[in-house]
Structure formats: C-alpha cells, structure tokens
Amino acid sequence: MSLSGKAAITGIGETDYVRGSTKSAFRLQVEASLKAIEDAGLTPKDIDGIIPIGITGAPAEEFVTNFGIGDLRYSAVTPLGGASGIAAVQSAAAAIAAGICNHVLIPSGRNVSAGARAGVRIHQMPQFHLVTEYEYPLGAIAPAQLYAPMARRHMELYGTRSRQFAEVAVAMREHAILHGNAVMKKPITIEDHQSSRMIADPFRLLDCSLESDGGAALVVSAAERAGDMRQAKVVVAGIAEGHPDSPSSITQRAEMTRLGIAKAAPRAFAMAGVTPADIQVAEIYDCFTYIVICQLEDMGFCGKGEGGAFVENGRLKLGGALPTNTHGGLLSQAHMLGMNHIVELVRQLRGQGGATQVEGARLGLATGYGDLGDGAIAIMQRV
C-alpha cells in the first residue's frame, strides 16, 4: 500500500512571529491550533489524533483536556528536530490510511526568548548524548559549530563559496519582507552577508537562522473527506523520512556532505510519481544557508557539489526557476522548526500566497532537517 493521496492537509494556522513574546509556548501552540482547526472548518472536538512537535511541545493530554476531546484515538511523537513536522505528517497519514483516526492535529510553538538558547538546549536532548560527552567539553557547543565542518568539507571538496551561501540568505530575506509575517524586515545584499561577523567559520551571522517565538499548526485529514471541507484540497502525494549514517555524530559520518534526506527523497519522489523538475515551489529547511544547498543536491535538483552554482543568479527567488522559501524561511521569517515551511507550502498550493504567491503552483515540496542530519520530505499537490 502506498500513502500517496491518502491524506490531505486540511487546516493551517500560525501566530504572528516575533521576538520577546510574553505568551507561553503552550498558549502559542493553542492559538495556532485553534486557527488551523477553524481553517479546516472543524471544531476542536473533531480532532481524534495529536502529534505534538518539538521539545517544547505540550503532550497530547494537554490538548485533550483543554479542547474537551472525548475520544482521542491516536497520539505519537516524532523526535527528528527540525524534520519532526514532516515526519509527523507521515505518521498522521499512515494512521489515517490505516483507519485509526480521521483528523490529526500537529501543533507546535515555542517561546525561546523566555528560555535557554539552542546551544544549551540541545545538550539536554538524548539524541545529542555522544556530542555532549565528547565534543561539548572541547567547545563544540552550538549547532553552528557542529554543522560548520560539513559546510567546510563541501567547500574544500567542491569549491563552494561563501558568496553562494549569501545567495540563499538574500533570497530568503526578500521573500520575508514581501510576505509580511516575518521577524526580519530589513533588506540585505550579498555584501551585507559578506561583511556580517563570523560566527563559526564558514558560517557568518547571515548564514544562521533566527531565534524567535510563535506557533504553527496543521490539521491532517483523510483525503476522501477533504473534498467536503472548507479549503481547496491539498494532498500528500509523496512523503518520507531518512536518517543519515552515524546519526549521533557528524564527526564520525563517513560522508559528511550527505544528509538523511538523501535516503528519503528517492522514496518520496517515487511515491508521488514526479521528479525534481516537476516541482513548482519549494520550502526547504534552512537552519543554515549551506543546509539548503546540501539538501538541493541530496534531493537530486543538481549533482553533488553543484549546489553552490545552482543557487546563483536568483534561481531560488520569486520569478526564478525554483522559488524557495516564499515565507522567508528560518533565516528570515522565524525559526518554527520547519512547521512554517509546511504551512507556507499549503498556502501556496491553495493559491493563498499573497504577495509571494508562485503563479499557478499546484505541485511543491517541503523539507525538514533536524538534530545531526535527520531529514524528511513531503511532496504535496493541489487536486
């Protein structure tokens, strides 16, 4: 049995994305969830499956209690860091296809302004225990420092340049400003990127994603019910998660420039029956500029080592051949663990993209990347 076409994203919701929110993470999750449920034309009591996202995600029981859900039939967690959202959609689709439940809520929300920053948070997570024991004491603290050797290796092997990273950052910023609901509002140039301070070589400040507050949520429903619901029908055509070799340590990974999505992408494209050339809009997880370039290669949009040249000349911008992160991504909209990428893809495919709408987009993809290289990809289609 294939999952293709079995599930649809019927509801999307997100809060304003800000820094310094006074709202709790749970409140942000609830606000986004209520919007997504309303968007789907459902009531909170219609939800019969819940997959909370991220380490700040409140447990399913909290939603049952607050929403008065009488018969929750399915709950799960998908701990893949920034790939958790798409992994959750896969889990929801599988549960729906198996007839376990009908409407799965995927809530997310975080208030990082009120808590510890990423460099401290990750060392409390079990999937980082080897890094915490052997690399943290050396001063390898934050994701920027852990991921930078992958980017450096890519540069040394393939001649990838920092100015190519800058192309990604500039495209994301342009989209964020047009989109409106974004933390970053000021335009940047390639030169701004090149003169931004070095954080963890080769990553400069403008290669790094934001720390921001907000909530984003999805409702996934059985595709056969979606036609009768409020919104245009956007189905999950192909979906997969993939885990890299040596998932607990980048240091020990034989091929440092190959992420988990390299295993997932062929499965997702085969399931959907399409190729990268068919994709009209892409929402690609962008915790760092380089991670976008590496995923483009790993998904087959170009060959390994060709990603730097691929993103040149505005290819990722609106009007380019592969409009990417039409919301501004984690680099310029908000760090919402990639849930904002899924929300934006659905909005685009419904034709609700506003100022960043890709004309006539009916087939697109979203990706996730998390922890030390976990990956996930969802190919969605307006039907």
Partner 1 sequence: MSTSEKPRPHETEESRPYWRGAERGALMIQRCAHCGKLRHYPRLVCDNCHSLESDWVEASRRGTLHSWTVAHHAFHPGFAQDVPYVLATIDLEEGVRALGILDAPADGKLAPGAAVTGRFERRGDGVSVLHFFLARQGPRLVKGDDQC
Give the shortest CB-284-to-partner 1 separation in angstroms: 23
Contact letters for partner 1, residues 152-191 (x by CB under 8 A): xx--xx----------------------------------
Instruction: Please report, for residues 10, 29, 46, 212, 263, the alpha-carbon distance to residue 218 in angstroms, rounded to integers and kept in the order given.
Output: 8, 11, 14, 19, 25
199 binds partner 1 (CB under 8 A): yes
- Count of positions on this chain that bind partner 1 (CB under 8 A): 37
| Residue of 87, 176, 200, 287 that binds partner 1 (CB under 8 A) | 200
| Residue of 70, 137, 319, 360 that binds partner 1 (CB under 8 A) | 137
Q: Give the single-character DSSP code of 60.
A: H
- Binders of partner 1 in range 225-284 (CB under 8 A): 248-249, 251-252, 256
| Residue of 8, 30, 83, 148 that binds partner 1 (CB under 8 A) | 148
- Nearest-angstrom CA–CA distance, 197 and 199: 6
SS3 for 107? strand
Nearer to partner 1, 42 or 146 (CB): 146
Q: 361 — alpha (psi -120 to 50), left (phi > 0) or beta? A: beta
Cis peptide before 247, with omega less than 30 degrees from 0? no
Nearer to partner 1, 66 or 132 (CB): 132
User: Closest by alpha carbon to 162, among 304, 310, 297, 308?
Assistant: 308
Q: Give the single-character DSSP code of 124.
A: G
- Binders of partner 1 in range 316-375 (CB under 8 A): none
Nearer to partner 1, 7 or 330 (CB): 330
Nearer to partner 1, 114 or 157 (CB): 157
Nearer to partner 1, 130 or 270 (CB): 130
β-strands 374-382, 234-242 pairing: antiparallel
| Residue of 133, 224, 228, 255 that binds partner 1 (CB under 8 A) | 133
69 binds partner 1 (CB under 8 A): no
Nearer to partner 1, 16 or 245 (CB): 245
- Nearest-angstrom CA–CA distance, 67 and 107: 13
Give the shortest CB-116-to-partner 1 separation in angstroms: 11
CB atoms closer than 10 angstroms to residue 248: 17
201 binds partner 1 (CB under 8 A): yes
User: 304, 48 in Cβ contact below 8 A?
Assistant: no
305 binds partner 1 (CB under 8 A): no
- Nearest-angstrom CA–CA distance, 359 and 341: 18
Cα distance between the two ends of the chain: 20
Instruction: Please report, for residues 107, 203, 276, 377, the alpha-carbon distance to residue 272 in angstroms, rounded to integers and kept in the order given.
Output: 26, 35, 11, 11
Nearer to partner 1, 158 or 301 (CB): 158
357 token code pair: 């709408």
Give the shortest CB-181-to-partner 1 separation in angstroms: 28
126 binds partner 1 (CB under 8 A): no
- Nearest-angstrom CA–CA distance, 338 and 324: 13
Q: Residue numbers of the site for partner 1 (CB under 8 A)?
A: 117, 119-120, 123, 130, 132-142, 144-145, 148-150, 152-153, 156-157, 197-203, 248-249, 251-252, 256
